Structure 1
Amino acid sequence: MKKIKLLLVLNCLMVSFVFASSPTVYDIIVAADGSGNYKTVQEAINAVPDYRKVTTTIFIKNGVYKEKLNIATSKQFIKMIGENVAHTILTYDDWAQKKNSFGEEKGTSGSSSVYIYGNSFTAENITFQNTAGPVGQAVALFVAGDKARFINCRMLGFQDTLYTYGYASRQYYYQCYIEGTVDFIFGSSTAVFDKCEIFCKKAGYITASSSPDSSKYGYVFINSKITGDATDNSFYLGRPWRPYAKSVFINCYLGKMIKPEGWNNWGKETNEKTAYYAEYNSQGPGANAKARVKWSHQLDEITVKAYTMEEIFNGWNPKE
């Protein structure tokens, strides 16, 4: 027990060294039992003044908050901190084919449990979840705002779990857990996944980038682990949702579910000329540089140096 407590303390200290310490006094407290300022998360978001220029910190007490949340463009510099990542859960259960009040399908974008449009958003110790199950596209988290950060968070779902929406959006995920099946990390944003666990369920594709040709980096996974309960050789690292898709894995552990060929062209040979897929120093049973498709790349000690936070995010440092 003493060892476990020590490890928890050391982990908290490590995170505090990487990021600025969380404040002990919060602007708004959310508690489902009524012990805070608001009972629902959306009420707390709505209470933040539009276009406020300083950070508003919202503390969310443990609980399952079943709400379809929308953080509008006018709600910027919001920082949401959960009491405990395993017990502070923001969830909903829409899916793409579910009908809205007009009898129309909601679609992939309309299926999300949480929408983040406001810039400079931060979340810590929160679970984002879609409980619709394996019924097709069912987004847990839709992120469109620029300079979005997620620290020690979980994204739970099946197909299309995390939608990184918008080519102008820069997103940083640190020590997060993301799970899913088909294309469960997808979109056109520039995003870094740093020391994350990517959990593969059943079979499918980890990434479905839709980077535009003007985007240099797309998705970058650094020091992360690809794990899961999927069967051997059942997952691709990615496939191109759009022709100029980009995904790179640097110093990552790849589990046995990763196919030897690594990457898929989504049935279009022309994508092989435009998409950019690369690895550097992959490890584990799913690492197989020699068997990868010929149109993918292996970075070397020189080319990997271009993948710094400053370069990827065009000057933004998400750790400040």
Structure 2
Amino acid sequence: MLITVSKNGNEGYTSLQEALDSIPQGHPSEVTIRIKPGIYEEKITVDKAAPPILLLGEDPHSTVITWSDNAHTLGKDGEPLGTFRSGTLNVFAEGFTAENLTIRNASGPGTGQAVAAFVDAGQAVFRRVRLLGDQDTLYTGQGRQYYNECYIEGDVDYIFGAATALFDHCHLHNKRSRGYITAASTPEGAPFGYVFLDCKITGGEGVSEVYLGRPWRPFAHVAFIRTVMDGSVIGEGWHNWGQPDREKSSRYEEFGSSGTGANPAARAPWSRQLTAEEAAEYRVLPVLDGWHPEGY
């Protein structure tokens, strides 16, 4: 099933949410929603009962989904939305893919938690997607998630959550000094949390002392494999969130980091530098427990 969304109204729907809502209940096969270039100012929800959905843009710079809720925004009930209702794109479907899009939370710096993509799907794929925000840009709620050639920016805990998520050739951009890239809440016993393969980390002008991660929950797992890091990354690398006990249970790992932000000798002593043999296990299929993302 193919649906088209166009800002000019000449083709299909003018609203992405209207297009999603038009899918018949119980539709048995994948639905592709082709999104023509334009800025779509909408808060989007992909329901749990939705069939596999592909949101397909033409170009990530010209196809933009944007909204500006944050944790302090008042909802229809008159109460603050909180972090988990602030998302611009909210995905609850079992299977979901987005390609060639920008997803932005335009709330702005200093406004608190403001999620661009809230991803709580069983299996989710993002390819060539720009995720723009400040604090809490990307929430990875559950399941297995694959990000390929994506650009993700933020300042505090801008990739956070419990899912097993693999970031393949992605670009992470730090917008503020003394921030944190990841805040993983990996469940106890999960073999993998966040794995970054062949990624790069940059910072804005003058940005420094950014940590690779801090443990939102005690068993946080994050691994950076062959990542190029600029000088915005602090030598210590990892922060214990003011809870020393989490140094014993968190798993923070690196292998083959390069660039001015790569400094194994200065890293927090409770983190690990993997051996080549250990790092060889950090591949797409083992990390995603045998799931083979379509097109990988």
For normalisation by structure 1, the TM-score amounts to 0.89
Q: Verify the 8 A CA contact 2:176 2:208 in the aligned structure 1.
A: no
| Distance in 2 between residues matched to 1:281 and 1:200, nearest whole Å | 21
Q: Give the alignment of 1:1-320 within 5 angstroms.
A: 27-134=2-109, 135-166=111-142, 169-203=143-177, 204-229=179-204, 231=206, 233-320=208-295
Where has structure 1 moved over 4 Å in runs of 4 or more? Answer: none
Q: Secondary structure at the match of 2:29?
A: coil
Using the alignment, how far apart are the partners of 1:256 and 1:232 within structure 2?
Answer: 8
In structure 2, distance between residues paired with 1:240 and 1:53:
40
Number of residue equivalences: 293
CA drift of 1:76 comes to 2.4
Unaligned runs of 5+ in 2: none
User: 1:233 touches 1:260 (CA, 8 Å); kept in 2?
Assistant: no
- Contact 1:230–1:257 (CA under 8 A) maintained in structure 2: no
Amino acid across the alignment from 2:256: N
**Deviation of 1:230 (Å):** 5.3
Separation (CA, whole Å) in 2 of partners of 1:162 and 1:50: 28
How far does residue 171 in structure 1 lie from its aligned partner after superposition? Answer: 0.5
Secondary structure in 2 aligned to 1:32?
coil
One-letter code aligned to 1:184: Y
Give distance in 1, aligned partners of 2:112 and 2:39. Answer: 23
Q: Take 1:293 and 1:234, find their aligned partners in 2: how far apart are those partners?
A: 14
Could you tell me the TM-score, scaled by structure 2's length? 0.96
Q: Secondary structure of 1:277's match?
A: strand
Change in 2 beyond 3 A, CA 1:307/1:33: same
- 2:174, 2:207 within 8 Å by CA — same for their partners in 1? no
Q: Distance in 1 between matches of 2:252 and 2:28?
A: 38
Mapped partners of 1:277, 1:153: distance in 2: 26
Give the distance between the partners of 1:46 and 1:232, measured in 2 at CA.
42
Structure 1 position 52, deviation (Å): 3.1
Q: In 2, Cα distance between the equivalents of 1:221 and 1:36?
A: 39
Mean CA deviation greater in 150-159 or 74-83: 74-83
Does the 8 Å contact 2:176/2:207 carry over to 1? no
Q: Distance in 2 between matches of 1:264 and 1:249?
A: 15
Over aligned residue pairs, what C-alpha RMSD do you find?
Answer: 1.2
- The answer to whether the 8 Å contact 2:181/2:212 transfers is yes
The answer for unaligned runs of 5 or more in structure 1 is 1-25
CA distance in 2 between partners of 1:218 and 1:109 (Å):
20
Measure the CA separation in 2 of the matches of 1:161 and 1:232.
18
Q: Going by fraction, where is helix more abundant, 1 or 2?
A: 1
